[in-house]
Structure 1
Amino acid sequence: MGKTLFDKVWDAHVVSSKEGFPDIIYIDTHFIHEVTSPQAFDGLRKRGIPVFRPQQTVATADHNVPTLNQHLPIKEELSRYQVDTLTRNCKEFGIELYGLGHPYQGIVHVIGPELGITVPGRTYVCGDSHTSTHGAFGSIAFGIGTSQVEQVLATQCLLQSRPKRMKIEVNGTLRKGVTSKDIILYIISKISAAGGTGYFVEYAGDTIRSLSMEGRMTICNMSIEMGARGGLIAPDEITFEYVKGREFAPKGEEWDKSVAYWKTLYSDSDAQFDKEYYFNAEDIEPMITYGTNPGMGIGVTQKVPAVAEIEQSEQPSYVKALNYMGLREDEKLLGKPIDYVFIGSCTNSRIEDLRQVAAFVKGRQKADNVTVWVVPGSKQVQKQAIEEGLDKIFAEAGFGLREPGCSACLGMNEDKIPAGKYCVSTSNRNFEGRQGPNSRTFLASPLTAAVAAVTGKVGDVREFLEEAELA
């Protein structure tokens, strides 16, 4: 019987396997940041042991950093303490740190791919659930807890039970205005926020193959939002072209050897999956969430489901979610006024996302009732956006381009959405209080967010595309 892509990569990294016990898996690269690493370093310190392979650990500051005036001391005391602690720990244990002011600083799941640290066929972990992003390159990547961060720092290995395998195939041509973010929000709305629990997902089909690497990263990034352990996509020429020439990517003969190996990374035709789903691209329209988990999503023209349509056991939590969001059953979100727009996060803060937004808002102005934050995912993205003049387009539209960081994806830094306010966000989670205490989040694509920014309300980008065609 053939092997799945997941099994090929997993098996190549098994150090030891014994029936009835988790496998010992070798980790190629360990990403760390300021939030989940301090306790792990303290554990090493107490046990008097070093980081086993510091050259395979990559550190950056992202969650707690401000996105304005990064040259100044961080105002929030806890944020400043966590970033300073990361700096001290990296210096003590000999780990390269891309901290504030470094040209490679940025969100951990943005800098790995753009620097060529993330490549096919490897294993990546980080104390952050959205590590699944790196699976877009045909690698196994997943988030770990703080005790596991310590385990990897100490041994470069991890105890892990092999998850079940799921295939999600999407075929067909996407309609205008529909993006990779809409694909993943649609999938999660169909299988639920818990539908992938216990599985590692491989995304396949000609729709997925047609996506750029940045689009694929968006898909894999949100695998965790369906409860999956992670997601991955088989590498191809699009992958190789993206990786080639990047700072830490293989070079010369090593590049040729690597590509030869990467070309073997696909699921065999007779590989068996534990569960499979099939979707048609033509069925997907621009998506938006209405509730308090990413599975509560609808097409932007659809109505919020009636309570009666929800399984009886889930109705109390469903009503609670609607109450929190200030919405009614059978209500349409189209035309609903909003207060904030956040374009950023490890899901949608790459240069393609910013280009897409800039192309839409060029020559337009943001609505008076809306505050817009555009936050690049890294210093490299910020630099490229400025070189391409995107910052000027944003400024003319009344947006402004901030400095890199996780920003308003989570209420852990200075960028918080005020209580009771509605935010159309390109981030990955809409939990209660995720973007600030009692804030209300609608997840959407960068295009849908751009529409909200210029109209001041939830809108359908396809209406604007149709106008452009008629003009």
Structure 2
Amino acid sequence: MTARTLYQKLVDSHTVARLDEQNLLLFCDLHLMNEYTSPQAFAGLYEQHRSVPMPGQNVAVVSHIIPTHPTKFRVIADPPSALQATNLKKNCDHFGIPLFDTNDALQGIEHVVAPEHGMIRPGMVVICGDSHTTTYGALGALGFGIGTTEVEHVLATQTLAYRPAKDMRIRVDGVLPVGVTSKDLVLAIIGRIGAQGARGYVVEFCGTAIDALSIEARFTLCNMTVEAGSRGALIAPDQKAVDYVLAHAPDIGTKHREAALASWRDLHSDADAAFDVEHRFDASEVVPHVTWGTSPDQVTAIDGHMPRLQDLPEGPVRTSAQRALQYTRLQEGTAIEGTPVQHVFIGSCTNGRIEDLRAAATIVRGRHVADGVRAMVVPGSGAVKAAAEAEGLDRVFLDAGFEWRQPGCSMCLAMNDDVLAEGVRCASTTNRNFEGRQGRGAITHLMSPAMAAAAAVTGRITDARTLETLP
């Protein structure tokens, strides 16, 4: 048999039929939905008098529009957003689809909720109307985002017309230095290969540095790989991944465990499998990274500087950098460290898990938010919030002057009432720094939770490693 990559094995095992030379019909083990990419899909089902044949393999979450104010009972005040949530519940009730609704105690961001409740297992194909579905590659599952018309097709058939991607392998060996995280690593990778560097590819990560990452750190890595244009991200499931899944999926009892373990053992690329493109990185060379522009690949090391336009090639790269500097109100050639911030946001599907909050709390403990800075922590889910409160992390943040919020997407994107004003500069643990992403005219600097916490207590972009307590 021809040697295959992990990606090829996953596609082969889920191929229902080949449609033509370039496209096939892919079975989807799990389809996640949210309130903003599903309305048109449900409308199409009603119009065509179609049912949802596998409702249990579809799960919905209200996440992007939900308010995160610290109240016991949440009410969506914005009428259009409230209608989206109401319609999602109505549609889920009609078709029998499980829903994490607005005031569900376990509600949260879809990409945090799904794995923590054991929905994601190695070898699965998981899709969602959200680009950061790549997160699930951390557990050896093929996850990717789809469009609204495709959502309707999946609801009606549990399959998807799919054009396979090419294979890319990124090997990261060595040891990440103390105070450097997977968020820094992925920003460094995107900075090197570019925002379109993985376009048309599914990326498989491997190497000793990847092996050393926790599962939550791997979620962050796979989550942000889409910012390099990738169609998916994968890490072959090892014992860490297996232990995580078994700990979060109690339904895999003794009767089914051996069969599951046996099937997961083959979820790796064959030794002589060929990749279309390969990159190598040395983890020991990675330092904390911060974005300076309006694309995740416009990034620099914490001791770096804004680019000088004359040093960039003429054309789109220079034009993009010039526009980014104008938007972010920064001067070419100046240092990124020391840039003042007015807001700090810790949360999102990229960095809203318990490990992220612990890292931020380590920096915050015993310190206070700087004057003139508003700082907020938004847990990724109800389960994360409960775990953090059980550890006393909420008190650490509150005592330091942070806002401790209810779970949700919040300030990752301006689709709810957590929106930045024009000109406000935010140190953010999110995944995108596009123009207007956190509010019209707002300025976003992507960084790790520890770096965001350091910015909160100093009032400026700061190397977290220089503070007395390391994360």
- Alignment partner of 2:348: what SS? coil
Does the aligned pair in 1 maintain the 2:19–2:25 contact within 8 Å? Answer: no
| Structure 2 residue aligned with 1:78 | 80
> Is 1:171 aligned to 2:168, yes or no?
no
Give 1:26's aligned residue: 27
1:46-445 alignment to 2 at 5 Å?
46-68=47-69, 69=71, 71-247=73-249, 249-314=251-316, 315-445=318-448
Q: Secondary structure at the match of 1:264?
A: coil
The one-letter amino acid of 1:95's match is I
Please give the alpha-carbon distance, in whole angstroms, between the structure 2 residues aligned to 1:70 and 1:412. Answer: 21
Q: Is the 1:170–1:279 contact (alpha carbons within 8 Å) kept by the matching residues of 2?
A: yes
Bigger shift: 154-163 or 357-366?
357-366
Cα distance in 2 for partners of 1:310, 1:44 equals 50
Match of 2:436, SS state, is: coil
User: For the residues of structure 2 that align with 1:412 and 1:78, how far apart are their CA atoms?
Assistant: 11
Give the Å deviation of 1:72. 3.8
Residue deviations 1:322-376, cap 9 Å, x none?
Answer: 1000011111111111000000000000000011111221111111111111000
- Cα distance in 1 for residues equivalent to 2:85 and 2:250: 25
Counterparts of 2:251 and 2:175 in 1: how far apart (Å)? 32
> By how many angstroms is 1:104 displaced?
2.3
- CA–CA distance in 1 between the matches of 2:50 and 2:250? 28
Give the match's secondary structure for 2:106. coil
Q: Secondary structure at the match of 2:349?
A: coil
* Letter of the structure 2 residue corresponding to residue 103 of structure 1: A
> What is the Cα deviation at residue 312 of structure 1?
1.1
2:404 partner SS: coil
Distance 1:345 1:159, change over 3 A: same
Contact 2:344 2:456 in 1 (8 A): yes
Farther off after superposition, 18-27 or 300-309 = 18-27
Work out the CA distance in 2 between the residues paired with 1:291 and 1:173: 28
Larger deviation, residues 427-436 vs 14-23? 14-23
Give the superposition deviation at 1:249.
Answer: 4.9
Q: Deviations over 1:208-265 (max 9, x none)?
A: 1100000000000011100110101000011011111324652222122111211111
Q: Distance in 2 between matches of 1:123 and 1:144?
A: 12
Percent identity, please: 45
SS in 1 for 2:427: strand
SS where residue 120 of structure 1 aligns?
coil
Q: Which secondary structure does the structure 2 equivalent of 1:218 belong to?
A: helix
Mapped to 2, the partners of 1:203 and 1:249 lie a distance apart of: 29
Partner of 1:8: 9
CA contact (8 A) 1:288 1:444 kept: yes
Q: Is the contact between residue 117 and residue 249 of structure 1 (CA under 8 Å) also seen in structure 2? A: no
Please state whether the residue corresponding to 2:205 is helix, strand or coil.
Answer: strand
Q: Distance in 1 between matches of 2:51 and 2:32?
A: 17
Give how far 1:73 is off. Answer: 2.2
2:39–2:87 CA contact under 8 A, matched in 1: yes
Number of residue equivalences: 467
What's the CA shift for 1:103? 2.5
SS at match of 2:225: helix
Query: Counterparts of 2:469 and 2:377 in 1: how far apart (Å)?
Result: 24
CA contact (8 A) 2:67 2:75 kept: no
Output the TM-score relative to the length of structure 2.
0.97
Does the CA contact (< 8 Å) of 2:172 and 2:209 recur in 1? yes
The 10-residue stretch of structure 1 (260-269 or 374-383) with the greater mean CA deviation from structure 2: 260-269
Distance 1:14 1:29 in 2: 15
Q: Unaligned regions of 5+ residues in structure 2, if any?
A: none
TM-superposed CA distance for 1:56, in Å, is: 0.3
For 2:32, give the aligned amino acid: F
Q: Residues 172 and 72 of structure 1: is their aligned pair in 2 closer, same or farther, counting only changes over 3 Å?
A: closer
Cα distance, 1:41 vs structure 2 = 0.2
Q: What TM-score do you get using the length of structure 1 for normalisation? A: 0.97
Shift of 1:310: 2.1
4+ residue runs of structure 1 moved beyond 4 angstroms? none
Distance change (3 Å), C-alpha of 1:286 and 1:267: same
14 and 248 in structure 1: CA distance in 2 versus 1, 3 angstrom threshold: farther
Contiguous gaps of at least 5 residues in structure 1: none
Name the counterpart of 1:41: 42
The RMSD of aligned alpha carbons is 1.1
Give the distance between the partners of 1:81 and 1:213, measured in 2 at CA.
Answer: 36
CA offset digits 1:261-285 (Å, max 9, x no partner): 1111111110000000000011110
- 2:208 and 2:256 map into 1 onto residues whose CA distance is 30
Q: Residues 249 and 349 (structure 1 numbering): CA distance in 2 closer, same or farther, change over 3 Å?
A: farther
CA–CA distance in 1 between the matches of 2:228 and 2:42? 31
